[in-house]
A and B are shown apart, each in its own frame.
Chain A
Amino acid sequence: MLIRQILAVKGTKVVTIDGAKTLREAVALLTANNIGAVIVVDVDNKPVGILSERDIIRASDRLPDVFAHRVSEVMSRNVVVGSPNDEVQTVQQTMTQKRFRHLPIMDQGKLAGIISLGDIVKAELEESQGEIEALSSYIQS
Chain B
Amino acid sequence: MQIKNILATKGMKVVTIRPDQTLREVVTTLATNKIGALVVVDLQNKPVGIISERDVIRVASQNEKFLTNLVRDVMTKDVIFGSPNDDVHSVQKTMTEGHFRHLPIVEGGKLTGIISIRDVVKAMLDEYAGEIDTLQTMIKG
Contact = CB atoms under 8 A, between A and B. Distances in A.
A31 B125 contact: no
Interface stretch (A2-10, A42-50, A106-114, A131-139): A131-139
What is the size category of the interface that chain A forms with chain B?
20 to 34
**Which of B27, B67, B132, B136: most chain A Cβ within 10 A?**
B27
A128 B139 contact: no
Given A27-B57, A61-B28, A61-B31, A135 B139 contact: yes
B77 interface: no
Interface in B20-60: 27-28, 30-31, 36, 53-54, 56-58, 60
A84 interface: no
Interface string B56-98: 1110110010010000000000000000000000001000100
Contacts of B12: none
Nearest to A121: B121
A128 B60 contact: no
Chain A contact residues, majority secondary structure: helix
Contacts of B132: 128, 131-132, 135
Contact of A28 (B61, B92, B135): B61
Given A132-B135, A135-B132, A136-B135, A125 B58 contact: no
B129 interface: yes
Interface residues of B, number: 30
A130 B67 CA distance: 47
A79 interface: no
B118 interface: yes
A31 B62 CA distance: 10
16 contacts: A31-B57, A31-B61, A54-B36, A56-B57, A57-B27, A57-B30, A57-B31, A57-B53, A61-B30, A67-B60, A96-B122, A122-B96, A125-B128, A128-B128, A132-B135, A135-B136
Nearest to B56: A57
